[in-house]
């Protein structure tokens, strides 16, 4: 979930909430995931997130790769797409909170010589950055090797065995994390600079923060707290016990209808230092 409007939390700690939407637009309903083979190079830009080069209707763009978003976000319309051709999707969360509708279009996206089926993208000139979502590259087997700056589709990993279950909901990945003997399913989110959990979940499960600091929150999807708690502890992700840090976040009560199923996310601060493998047909994953 990368930021598209004006969210700023502690000098840009997190960039994501105002873009995240949970419409039922892209339900993962296939019995098996499509098999696609490609190697997609990863670069880095102004945000603490991975970037990928792709073309949209033949125009080259540098996109944030945001696995926590359910569709691409475009701020400059390709020449092949006209304003009159845009469709309106209602009830989505956008940069200004709950809008009556956002503009969308069928995006023709290609990575190098590999073309993928078109998907619906959202458009607004107000977006701060352009992003590509996970569903733009879904394949039956997916390797995310950010240490070596690449995403590999259609190949089985040789560095770990996919034995741990994960969930797919609206073409987003969720992995199970255990802390203080309690389990929670977290969004696997390369678009969030920092991992986060709902403040209420942390407090209900008696997690103790190591730091409380003043925080300026500029997003409609967050409550206007005067301070933010930060947590640091051992957590079990999959079958591995690892150090895990996250921020405690409170969502605005008026938007709980959209965020009620989201307890938090594993952010890019945790994801980037590991290699990940997801087998979408088996619904199993691993990392090293």
pLDDT of residue 191 exceeding 70, the answer is yes
Give the three-class secondary structure for 75: coil
* The predicted structure's pLDDT at residue 213: 65
Q: What is the H or E stretch that residue 204 is in?
A: helix 199-204
Most confident of 7-16, 215-224, 249-258: 249-258
- Cα-to-chain-centroid distance, residue 216: 22
Q: How far, in Å, CA of 164 to CA of 38, rounded?
A: 24
Q: For residue 92, report the phi and psi dihedrals to the nearest 5 degrees.
A: -110, 150
pLDDT of residue 94 exceeding 70, the answer is no
pLDDT tens, 230-255? Answer: 999 999 999 999 999 999 887 655 44
Average pLDDT over residues 195-203: 88
pLDDT of residue 80 exceeding 50, the answer is yes
Binned at pLDDT 50, 70 and 90, residue 90 comes out as low
Binned at pLDDT 50, 70 and 90, residue 93 comes out as very low
How many helices (H) and strands (E) are present in the chain, helices listed first? 3, 25
Binned at pLDDT 50, 70 and 90, residue 22 comes out as very low
Q: How far, in Å, CA of 168 to CA of 131, rounded?
A: 20
> How much of the chain exceeds pLDDT 70, in percent?
75
* The predicted structure's pLDDT at residue 53: 96
pLDDT of residue 45 exceeding 80, the answer is yes
Domains of the chain and any CATH numbers: 17-153 (2.40.70.10), 164-287 (2.40.70.10)
pLDDT of residue 286 exceeding 90, the answer is yes
Mean pLDDT value across the chain: 80
Q: pLDDT higher for 161 or 27?
A: 161
Q: C-alpha distances in angstroms, 272 versus 62, 144, 212, 265, 281?
A: 19, 9, 25, 14, 24
List the one residue out of 66, 59, 174 whose CA is nearest residue 127: 66
* The predicted structure's pLDDT at residue 210: 80
Q: pLDDT higher for 115 or 131?
A: 131
Q: How far, in Å, CA of 59 to CA of 212, rounded?
A: 45
């Amino acid at each position: 979930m990368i930021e598209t409007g004006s969210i700023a939390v502690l000098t840009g700690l997190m960039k994501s909430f105002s873009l995240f939407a949970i419409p039922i637009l892209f339900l993962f309903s296939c019995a098996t995931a499509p098999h696609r083979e490609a190697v997609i190079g990863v670069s880095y830009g102004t945000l603490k997130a991975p970037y990928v080069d792709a073309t949209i209707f033949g125009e080259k763009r540098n996109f944030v790769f945001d696995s926590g978003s359910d569709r691409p976000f475009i701020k400059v319309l390709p020449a092949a797409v006209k304003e009159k051709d845009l469709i309106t999707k209602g009830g989505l969360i956008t940069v200004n909170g709950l809008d009556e509708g956002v503009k969308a279009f069928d995006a023709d996206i290609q990575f190098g010589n590999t073309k993928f089926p078109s998907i619906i993208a959202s458009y607004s000139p107000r977006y701060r950055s352009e992003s590509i979502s996970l569903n733009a590259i879904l394949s039956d087997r997916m390797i995310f090797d950010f240490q070596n700056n690449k995403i590999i589709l259609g190949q089985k990993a040789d560095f770990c065995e996919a034995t741990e279950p994960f969930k797919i909901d609206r073409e987003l990945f969720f992995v199970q994390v255990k802390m203080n003997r309690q389990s929670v399913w977290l969004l696997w989110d390369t678009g969030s600079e920092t991992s986060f959990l709902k403040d209420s979940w942390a407090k209900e499960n008696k997690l103790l923060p190591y730091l409380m600091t003043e925080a300026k929150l500029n997003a409609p999807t967050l409550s206007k707290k005067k301070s933010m708690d930060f947590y640091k502890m051992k957590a079990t992700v999959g079958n591995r016990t690892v150090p895990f840090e996250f921020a405690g976040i409170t969502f605005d009560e008026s938007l709980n209808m959209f965020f009620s199923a989201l307890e938090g996310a594993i952010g890019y601060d945790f994801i980037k230092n590991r290699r990940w493998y997801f087998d979408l047909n088996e619904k199993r994953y691993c990392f090293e």
